[in-house]
Amino acid sequence: MIDYKQLEKQIRDTAKEENGLLPMFSNAAAILMDGVPGLNWVGFYMVDEEGFHLGPFQGKPGRPRIPSGKGLCSLAAKKNDMVYAPDVHEQPEFLPGDPATDSEVIFPLRNEGKVVAVLVMDSPVLNRFSVVDRDNLRRMAGLVEKNTNFSGTEKTAAAEKKAPPKEHSMPFELWLYAIKGMAQTYEMVEPIFSQLSEKEKKSLRDEYEKTA
């Protein structure tokens, strides 16, 4: 008999130590693989612009990518609900990974109401996941969802986007003088630069942005 209370405690304890996405997903996959008998693969697929990419998992190597609209992962994300396949061989949407897989259950994980990942659990046993199992595993997925800090990478990306532009190491005119040797004094630079076409000015400025 599966001790779901113990699995819940392990997931909560993991979150107390480190609740970033990678450690949470990695440990959750290990906890479920170890604590639920009759599984051959447990892992996460992360939503991206092209569909899904492989996240932390336990088991044989998984598909690196799942295209948008393909597979049971896409179905779970679209429904925003659990998808259960008691016999994957009867599911035309199923994308085979480990050939030993006979049944599969998938749970969507949300951040701020939006599906950002799915938890996939595979078994080499037909109809492996009973109603009791599915209800409890849905609760485990909910715990992972609730206790994972999804904002870390988003904050980092946002900070990079909002970072102030790099200040140039020297004024443009001095740089122009230095690399082109067009003048021997600063006063000679401006009239030369003013005679350049807009295309030439843009080319010089683009070059400057790359080297400054």
pLDDT recorded at residue 35: 97
Tokens 């051959």 identify what position?
40
| CATH (residue range 4-158) | 3.30.450.40
pTM above 0.85, yes or no: no
CA atoms in the 13 A half-sphere facing the CB of 22: 2
pLDDT recorded at residue 168: 42
DSSP single-letter state for residue 66: E
pLDDT at 48 over 60: yes
**What DSSP string describes 84-104?**
EES-GGG-TT----STT--EE
pLDDT recorded at residue 192: 62
Spacing of C-alpha 4 from chain mean position: 27
| Mean of pLDDT values over 100-107 | 96
Largest Cα span, the chain: 87
Tokens 């690399």 identify what position?
179
Tokens 């949407």 identify what position?
93
pLDDT tens track for 160-172 = 445 444 444 445 5
Give 199's contacts (C-beta < 8 A, 6+ positions apart): none
Q: Of 95, 109, 38, nearest to 62 (Cα)?
A: 95
End-to-end CA distance of the chain: 65
H or E element that contains 76: helix 71-79
pLDDT recorded at residue 157: 39
pLDDT recorded at residue 98: 86
E strands, 91-182, where?
A: 103-111, 114-123
C-alpha to C-alpha distance for 203 and 65, rounded to whole angstroms: 40
The domains of the chain are located at 4-158, 172-211
pLDDT tens track for 116-169 = 999 999 999 999 999 999 999 999 999 999 999 998 544 433 444 454 444 444
